[in-house]
Amino acid sequence: MVPTALIDFADPSDSGAPRLRHAFGTPRALLVAREPAQVRAVLDAVQAAAEGGAWCIGALRYEAAPAFDAALQTHPADGPLAWFAIHDEALPWPGAEPPPQDAPTLNWHTLPGRAQFDAALATIHQAIALGDYYQVNYTAQTVASLQGGGAQSVRALFAALQRAQPGGYAAYLDMGDEQVLSVSPELFFDWHSGPGGGEAGHILTRPMKGTAPRGATPEQDAAHATALHASPKERAENVMIVDLLRNDLSRIAEPFSVRVPRLFHTEALPAVWQMTSDVRARTRPGTPLSEVFAALFPCGSVTGAPKVRAMQAIHALEPGPRGIYCGAIGVVRPDDRGGVRATFNVPIRTVVLRDGQARCGIGSGITSGATADAEWNEWRHKRAFVERASAPFDLLETLALVDGQFRHRAEHLARLQGAAAHFNLSFDAAAVQASLQALADSHPTGAWRVRLLLDGRGQPRAEAFALQPTPEPVRLQLARRPLAEAHGEFVRYKTTRRAHYAALAPATPGVFDTLLRNEAGEITETTFGSIAMLLDGRWVTPPLACGLLPGVGRAVALREGRLTEAVVRVHDVPRVQAWAFVNSLRGWLAAELVP
């Protein structure tokens, strides 16, 4: 069976219950709204089908908002406003994932240029100063051409997206003309209707507002989380939306039942820390699903506050429809209380495939305290999930094998295991050890450069190449421009995705490697090794916080006391008394910096 839908939702109650993880085959019926006047009727029909025992899987576009309130302004929709597939049963999750190499390679067009971005933020700040609104969620669509796009490759892309953004509220929908691949970490709402409509229901919303990047080290990572939790700007952004959700919920809630049991909770995602808050209420007896949507849709976290004015600003700032992005994706099913249970995500971190094109929206909430630099970087961090999934890659370790013995074997395997955990890949230590041992047994003498790879399914393989001595001193050349992704995960972890390094590889004959710097002008590393500098009478190397790979040779030199960490900037280069290239494969090599 080729599934037409997949749902992989966390338990919103945080009770430790298993994830809601099911596949769905050919639906027995489709419920579709193409005009605003049809949306409520579709939602009423969905609820009736679920009350009759069906599982209903579907989505609403952001542009469905005027169906609930004509004052909520949007662009014309580019597809059905509401779409639900009706299934008689939920099937087990498919056992075998498609091979990662079956996923299509996507080269994403860049977001709007920095000048356009800065102009939009200036417009928002001016309107905030005039009192037009408090916050606007400003977004843009990135696009990529899709080659192929058959069912197997689309499933493989969804699996890659889930590895890149695990957990949360993931959904795959094949809607015929388009396929939706959502790995959203954000819950829109989880609603239990009252039994038979005669008793109060209860609802949980969990808006996500407030973002910080993950750190390069455990210490920096913890510091980023602490700073996010304490940030007045991020707290203000979060509480604005919490207040909006409290007001929205009051429209369907029993009197005095709206409460906020958890505020400013930080959650670790692969590329960013996010701040969430819980808003709960008891819904009035007889409240239908259509009224839940009428009260809440679109989620305030993707509009701003106040909602009507913020959506007017979005309409003016953004050139076209958002589509499924920032709408809602979810499942409506029978619950064990005799009513229905509806669980929907907010479709951020979502890719839509249509007409040979992939689209992905990225955005952030803009308040008076927002700066263009910080918001631009936030967009870059949020985009990391789709870039990680857009081309297959292997994890990589490069080891020296000398006369049948691996140099720093334990350190390399520990780093590989850490990378596997970060990228959500399985790591079988015994299989990795066996792969290395088989290679050592077949190369008992001589010096060899060994490439140990771990693919997207966690399968290891090892390759050996003759290692020639390196004449010293090696010649280094300063990079012509900063390494743009110095703080990205494909710098902090060693993989076969190395285009960012290859773009700065030396082109001058006789130059061994390129000395890299970040956008702040801090020296970081070389394209395939660590750097050591004799400065003021001591050998130093840049700290990981500057944006560099935690090299094994570097770690050994630090542990032995041969190196200490220090920030060195480009303007400090003339003061450097001596240079060395350091890595586990070649050891410590004397170096010189050439023009």
Q: What is the CATH number of the domain that holds 428?
A: 3.30.470.10
Q: Are 474 and 513 in contact (CB under 8 A)?
A: yes
Is residue 403 located within the same domain as residue 501?
no
Is residue 441 located within the same domain as residue 579?
no
Beta-bridge partner residues of 462? 452
Sign of the CA dihedral with 238 first, then 327, 349, and 132 last: negative
Beta-bridge partner residues of 587? 583
| CB within 8 Å of 23: residues ≥ 6 apart | 1, 3, 5, 6, 90, 91, 92, 93, 94
pLDDT tier at 146, thresholds 50, 70, 90? confident
Is residue 220 located within the same domain as residue 351?
yes
Sign of the CA dihedral with 453 first, then 456, 458, and 461 last: negative
The domain spanning residue 568 has which CATH number? 3.20.10.10
| CB within 8 Å of 148: residues ≥ 6 apart | 104
Is residue 438 located within the same domain as residue 488?
no
Average pLDDT of the segment spanning 277-288? 95
Is residue 294 located within the same domain as residue 399?
no
- Choose, from 51, 97, 178, 186, the residue flagged as catalytic: 186
Among this protein's residues, is 307 annotated catalytic? no
- Choose, from 63, 209, 234, 397, the residue flagged as catalytic: 209
Q: What is the pLDDT of residue 197?
A: 60
Number of neighbouring beta carbons within 10 Å of residue 86: 21
* Domain count of the fold of the chain: 3
Q: What is the pLDDT of residue 26?
A: 96
DSSP state of 321: -
Share of the chain above pLDDT 70, in %: 99
**Domain end point (choices 466, 484, 501):** 466
> Chain-wide mean pLDDT for the chain?
93
Which of 24-33, 110-119, 176-185, 298-307 shows the lowest mean pLDDT across its residues? 110-119
Q: How far apart are the two ends of the chain, measured CA to CA in Å?
A: 62
Cα gap 541→558, rounded to integer Å: 9
Q: What is the pLDDT of residue 97?
A: 78
Is residue 402 located within the same domain as residue 537?
no
Q: Which of 310, 322, 375, 319 is nearest to 350 (CA)?
A: 322
**Domain end point (choices 364, 389, 414):** 389
Cα gap 237→224, rounded to integer Å: 17
Q: Are 316 and 224 in contact (CB under 8 A)?
A: no
Q: Tell me the residue range of the domain where 442 lies.
A: 395-466
Q: Which helix (H) or strand (E) holds 224?
A: helix 218-230
Taking CA atoms, 28 is separated from 25, 49, 250, in Å, by 9, 11, 36
Tokens standing for 352? 């839509």
Q: Are 170 and 110 in contact (CB under 8 A)?
A: no
Q: Are 581 and 541 in contact (CB under 8 A)?
A: no
pTM reported for the whole predicted model: 0.86
Is residue 545 located within the same domain as residue 479?
yes
Tokens standing for 425? 């890949």
What confidence tens digit (pLDDT) does each residue in 82-120 have?
999 999 999 999 987 777 778 888 888 877 888 999 999
Is residue 457 located within the same domain as residue 490?
no
Cα gap 532→541, rounded to integer Å: 5
**Domain end point (choices 427, 449, 466):** 466
Cα gap 45→84, rounded to integer Å: 10
Average pLDDT of the segment spanning 275-303? 96
The domain spanning residue 372 has which CATH number? 3.60.120.10
Is residue 377 located within the same domain as residue 400?
no
Is residue 408 located within the same domain as residue 553?
no
Number of neighbouring beta carbons within 10 Å of residue 291: 18
Among this protein's residues, is 397 annotated catalytic? no
DSSP line for 498-519: -HHHHTTS--STT--EEEEE-T
Nearest 10 degrees: CA dihedral of 94, 100, 102, 107? 130
Is residue 140 located within the same domain as residue 284?
yes
Q: Is the pLDDT of residue 1 over 70?
A: no
Q: Which of 243, 211, 203, 209 is nearest to 228 (CA)?
A: 211
Helices 36-51 and 289-296 cross at an angle (nearest 10°) of 130
Is residue 448 located within the same domain as residue 489?
no
Number of neighbouring beta carbons within 10 Å of residue 573: 16
